[in-house]
Amino acid sequence: MRKIIVTAEIWKEGNMFTAYCPELDVASCGHSSDEAKKNLSEVIGIQLEETSELGTLKDFLTEAGYFAENDVLHTVKKIVGFEELSIPVGIL
């Protein structure tokens, strides 16, 4: 069975956590960071299953920049870091 390597961005919004996969543009949430990641994994699995059943999985993965290397799907997109920026916006 192949595996896919994805990035999970996690952030807290109020009392909930959001997990986002930028490569596939898929998100989910949960009451904890772990629950949000678990739910994201499930949503990605469903997305891949559905596109496979529709016959569009290869196109979906190609558009996301994925390629197969042995039994692992990698993407050419690599997140290299996150930073907070302070940008002046004038008077609100």
All domains of the chain in start order, with CATH:
3-75 (3.30.160)
User: What's the pLDDT at 53?
Assistant: 97
d(CA 71, CA 33): 28
% pLDDT > 90, the chain = 78
> Which amino acid belongs to residue 76?
V
pLDDT, one tens digit per residue, over 48-77 is 999 999 999 999 999 999 998 999 998 988
User: What's the pLDDT at 15?
Assistant: 96
pLDDT, one tens digit per residue, over 37-54 is 999 999 999 999 999 999
pTM of the full predicted structure? 0.84
How buried is 19 (Cβ within 10 angstroms: 0-12 exposed, 13-18 middle, 19+ buried)? buried
